[in-house]
Structure 1
């Protein structure tokens, strides 16, 4: 089934656009959030709203070009009132995410927030304890290197996390550089 024809869950009923992924298909780095927000639903592209601006600024401060990463979400349609996606919604979208990961074939996946981190790793992750660390995705996502950090939207509600996310992305970049030399 093509993603544009997907109606496997209730999220499809109220969407304006399916928000697939965006970025080059030959990148080592994929960034995965949880779900599209209002602006993403309107524009059909991931991370173009407030959280997207924060993500872009964070990447820029660490000399990472956004257009050199592939960005997507766990679910491709916006949950109402920006709530977290439900288990059955994530299950319905799983085939789309698996296909994206297989096609992009990234070495690294940056998991933004608890939902993406837990979904991709299969672990009960507490961001307070695990942010800024690597683990692996589950077998179903190819046992790839998964880097855990907070979702950029978290900084909207807790400004103290801005520095934490900056440091996490800086650490990711340093480790990636060491591994790819």
Structure 2
């Protein structure tokens, strides 16, 4: 059922020209994973590898995300992974507010179709767009926010951890919280 609902949305994203990011993309990166996932990860936007393959989190940051999931006993195949923007910003820069605003309806529709219980914001861009525009990742990461039946938590983006290994320990602590919530909510069934 979810796939039937996602297909027209995927096609709409593939043909989107709502912002300038469409002009330089190789592929749109819609998102992928378990269509019945109770756990969704949302990043900022595609990088070079993601743009080339049309898949989210397949580069070095994606490999780190896979390793982090494996370390807490969750398979990538259990979750759904998407981004705030579906096209790569030039030089992997942060998406502008207008670019994010153009893409957010697609992400909201993905959430409405997949119906995850837990949404993990990977990095400040995702947290600012999904939790609060004034979100401070260094101060507010690892805190649960419940809104409209969803549990939100933010942690450092895997790319940030690769750039600054001091973020590894707090991100690990956040992933432990995610696993605990996942188990407490009976979401691993």
Instruction: Specify if TM > 0.5.
Output: yes
- Residue 152 of structure 1 pairs with residue 162 of structure 2: no
- Unmatched segments (≥5 aa) in structure 2: 1-8
Match of 1:163, SS? helix
Q: Does the 8 A contact of 1:121 with 1:136 survive in 2?
A: no
Q: Equivalents in 1 of 2:169, 2:132: separation in Å?
A: 27
Select 2:54's aligned residue among 32, 44, 67: 44
Query: Which ranges in structure 1 are unaligned for 5 or more consecutive residues?
Result: none
Report the equivalent of 1:17.
27
* Aligned equivalent of 1:177: 183
SS of corresponding position for 2:145: strand
Q: CA RMSD in A?
A: 1.4
Q: How far did residue 63 of structure 1 move?
A: 0.6
Local SS of the residue matching 1:103: helix
Deviations 1:6-40 (A, max 9, x none): 00000000000000010011010110000000000
Deviates more, 1:11-20 or 1:169-178: 169-178
Runs of 4+ in 1 over 3 A off after TM superposition: none
* Contact 2:117-2:149 at 8 Å conserved across structures: no
The match for 1:125 among 135, 151, 165 is: 135
Distance 1:75 1:66 in 2: 21
2:82 paired residue number: 72
> After the TM superposition, which of the residue ranges 160-169 and 48-57 deviates more from structure 2?
160-169
Alpha-carbon displacement from aligned partner over 1:56-104 (angstroms, at most 9, x marks no partner): 1111111111111000000000000100000110111112111101110
Whole-angstrom CA distance in 1 between matches of 2:146 and 2:91 = 31
TM-score by length of 1: 0.93
Q: Are 1:111 and 2:117 counterparts?
A: no
User: How many positions carry a matched residue from both structures?
Assistant: 177
